[in-house]
Structure 1
């Protein structure tokens, strides 16, 4: 699922023996039913499967072991694996249970769109005029038909085309006709989540930039100056309220942008604290009225091309007498589906549902009509109505249910439809190469050979698609994981191990490596001290460069390293080279969760003088945004930071800065932390507050608010924390900096249990 809309540039652009008994193998089952194409294909001759007998048993043993020994054992998981060459069901686990598939729903949406509309289908946007005097039209009308790929650059080019057709003045209104879709903007399931994030963008027959706005934010020219905030695109549709302030160069950044529709215009409010000379950061937020967004931005583009619009921008219908002056057509549907799948774009998925409704069932397009059209197609593909639940096209939230067997049935049907197979399969992300699995399954046989759609929601992970095995057999697979506790990285590692095992089928050594991937990291490589120090220096040098072109080298190193300290160094370098995307953030947080306890002390000893506080700054940057996971990771380092004066100083300053930008969140994290981390964190925070010297620092105010919490449990925990902080602050009376004791120097006051939080 995409949390960020695609910008225009993105559019253009261990052998291990398997000791399980043979009885663990899944029993053979009838072939998955073939789906009729638009013209029924000739029956394919039965192909000999390379995964028969012992090969199939070995694969089933590996999959069973991964499911039983990885984090997946604590989840509800459904798996189905089918040979596309023989039609044999090779493995099944809860294959007929209904699961929330998250964004794997997009597999069904994309398949129906390609089948019903055709890969060559193009979306149209029609421009009409009421004639007036020479070079003047009395009104300009635009009728949209759901194009999900319209972006500012295309709109600018369209304005140029209108100017080249002789239009110089619109002596009247710019009228926008979005009647091709109904008036419902948000699909079923979207009402379960409130907010202005771009992945919640509304639909519209006239839409632009995935119905989101880009908000560019950077620090101002000097401390206390207003930060620089700019919107893309520039449009009269927006009003901007810039409430940012520039802080000193070493300050932590925290930016809170928001968007809301007010009086027919989109109000963008940006609050926050920005470091001096900090780089540009981009945030995306949805807009509330797609039609007016399109219209106001078109008006600006027309003005830039020398066309003056004297009237208003308003919604309306194209009158019968208006003449067509220009027809804008999108790229082919095949290319749009590629963008949908590679980047898991929710907006495109819902636009396709409504377009199917309009094209197949009749305008106006709606979710009920579109879902009905998809259900008609799925029935032809061998998935009868009544066995699943589909309410939207993106898979957002708790609105859809499918089984793993239904999913591989769909995948098999699309594989056999020659006119559609290339576009459908080619649209899927490739493990280790692109899309949402660009950085997954590195170092395994799956890289370059597994194509699959991901799915991500709270408590949900899914992965379904195609893979060519080591025996050169083609498989369709579906993996649905629901209801898992704890952190996500271990569940994702288990899912990736299943994918690696499928790719390694037919080669026992690769199956063993996949099982090892799921069970535990391999033993640390024995490296000499100079070699380990050299590798850390290399990774930290690449991280300081901040160059995304270094990511392939760093990702390869991260997958290959077994020493926790070196993995941490590589992960931080990945983050520093890729701060704008979620993949770098995820690498750092996952590595900190798995490797920090064992690796951080050694990393501290191996680090170069240019990096006196490895991990601390990067985790503090993320924690300053107020999110719980990086805050937890940062506090977990606290017991180790008192060993070095330079590290203690850097950590204390970082924690005080986090307390400035996210005081309530830091307070909650301290209350929830393990005792050793909480006590060491309080010691560092006390030192940082003393060094900061700001009597109006917001963390003490947050603590005072917590003391008055009406919940007695929370208030009692805040009282205990306040007492511990006061004790720690007394220790800071001496100005000299020295390593802080981790235990008895300030005896902790017990914090009551967190029941009732």
Structure 2
């Protein structure tokens, strides 16, 4: 009976291998690598071939960010309230550093804290909001970004609310907010009337100042709810020290986002949010090379840091989200990243039972990279396909890889010396 069990396991292992390998042979523009529990290649097919990685690039960006800052890092935004000596005007000054999660709930928290501090100082009115968004280059457009209104095409910005998008709907011709936590602002109404929609989320376009104005208006709306009136004057000025500038500082507040970096990376992976990925890449570039962050600095950061960390020679990345069709990585290189990503593997979504991975999709590109959990082992794998395949093809391959791991484990178990003996 034992011999029959061993032969059955080996037959299953061989059959699954033949099925998978014959399927891969039909996809010449592809690369695949799976490591087993011993971190040895179990399945390998053109693993060194350079291909377009699409959004599996976010694994690289997430790794670099987590490795650089740690999962408990929190993005900052600086707020100062000053009074001009010349005319007594009270100004709220905001400097952004690329926080990707300045969502309505976060702005509500900020407004509450600012209003409380202003109340302690006897201030109940702001004459203007000044914005310093110079941490990112003005007019920045990263490779692969298009000019559609789709949320996934939202442009990065040092200051942006709700991922630089609006969520509106038309109610009998009246523009209203489509989310209860977000007040309607004057700019939102104007854009809503100019946009043909019944309901939808759309990005604010390549004019980043439009998105930054919306940020200021939304912050002002939350302040008004806290009893602080805010005038409509919004201007752009680099933040300066009050001393010697004719300004008297009334309040200084550095806000740290309520979400940690790990709590931001998890939804980036689950929903493949390009805006978050690009904000992370730009912030890394600004930290490395100084502000303002630029597209060239992002490209320089990605290629130099990966070359230094992994010793790679042949690869190319020019954006952190994976939108560019010029990006090139191999399945082997993605598995290298996954080997380093292990401390944060819990941030990846479960796309199939015991398969935790990041997807990647462009026209003619389908990718999946992550881990297959087998008992206590997490085996990294990467699949890159640069030709048209059915939508669920990558998941089907992942399930076959999962079976390969199970077959190998069963075969190894059945051949252990302690397994020999009588079997009833």
Q: Tell me the TM-score range normalised by the shorter chain.
A: 0.7 to 0.9
Cα deviation digits, residues 713-754 of structure 1 (max 9, x gap): xxxxxxxxxxxxxxxxxxxxxxxxxxxxxxxxxxxxxxxxxx
1: CA distance, partners of 2:93 / 2:164: 20
Cα deviation digits, residues 108-156 of structure 1 (max 9, x gap): 01000111122121111111121479xx862110011110001112212
For residue 188 of structure 1, report the CA deviation from its aligned partner.
Answer: 1.3
The match for 2:200 is 282
2: CA distance, partners of 1:180 / 1:509: 51
Which residues of 2 match residues 48-447 of structure 1 at below 5 A? 60-68=17-25, 73=26, 76-83=29-36, 85-131=37-83, 138-167=90-119, 168-190=123-145, 193-217=146-170, 220=172, 226=173, 229-231=175-177, 233=182, 234-240=184-190, 266=191, 268-271=193-196, 281-287=199-205, 288=207, 289-310=210-231, 312-321=233-242, 323=249, 324-330=251-257, 331-384=259-312, 386-415=313-342, 421=343, 424-432=344-352, 447=353
1:314–1:75: structure 2 CA closer, same or farther, 3 Å change rule? farther
The count of residues paired between Structure 1 and Structure 2 equals 383
1: CA distance, partners of 2:112 / 2:377: 51
Of stretches 155-164 and 142-151 in structure 1, the one that deviates more from structure 2 is: 155-164
1: CA distance, partners of 2:372 / 2:136: 38
The answer to whether the 8 Å contact 1:189/1:391 transfers is no
Cα deviation digits, residues 420-440 of structure 1 (max 9, x gap): x1xx211111024xxxxxxxx
The answer to whether the 8 Å contact 1:353/1:371 transfers is no
The match for 2:413 is none
State the Cα RMSD in Å.
2.8
The match for 1:263 is none
2: CA distance, partners of 1:509 / 1:97: 26
The secondary structure found in structure 1 opposite 2:366 is strand
Q: Which is richer in strand?
A: 2
The match for 2:400 is 501
The secondary structure found in structure 2 opposite 1:122 is coil
Provide TM-score, normalisation by structure 2: 0.82
For residue 54 of structure 1, report the CA deviation from its aligned partner.
Answer: 8.5
Task: Tell me whether 1:481 sits opposite 2:402 in the alignment.
Answer: no
The answer to whether the 8 Å contact 2:150/2:201 transfers is no
The match for 1:620 is none
Which residues of 2 match residues 563-582 of structure 1 at below 5 A? none
1:297–1:89: structure 2 CA closer, same or farther, 3 Å change rule? same
Cα deviation digits, residues 679-723 of structure 1 (max 9, x gap): xxxxxxxxxxxxxxxxxxxxxxxxxxxxxxxxxxxxxxxxxxxxx
Task: Tell me whether 1:452 sits opposite 2:357 in the alignment.
Answer: yes
The answer to whether the 8 Å contact 1:120/1:333 transfers is yes
Cα deviation digits, residues 200-245 of structure 1 (max 9, x gap): 1111111110000002245x4xxxxx4x5423541122344xxxxx
The answer to whether the 8 Å contact 2:274/2:321 transfers is yes
The answer to whether the 8 Å contact 1:66/1:497 transfers is no
1:116–1:308: structure 2 CA closer, same or farther, 3 Å change rule? same
Cα deviation digits, residues 84-107 of structure 1 (max 9, x gap): x32311222121211111101101
The answer to whether the 8 Å contact 1:357/1:368 transfers is no
1:283–1:370: structure 2 CA closer, same or farther, 3 Å change rule? closer
1:301–1:158: structure 2 CA closer, same or farther, 3 Å change rule? same
1:55–1:326: structure 2 CA closer, same or farther, 3 Å change rule? farther
1: CA distance, partners of 2:15 / 2:377: 15
Greater RCO structure (CA 8 Å; 6+ sep): 2
Which residues of 2 match residues 482-631 of structure 1 at below 5 A? 482-484=386-388, 491-508=390-407
Cα deviation digits, residues 524-546 of structure 1 (max 9, x gap): xxxxxxxxxxxxxxxxxxxxxxx
1: CA distance, partners of 2:159 / 2:12: 53
1: CA distance, partners of 2:142 / 2:231: 36
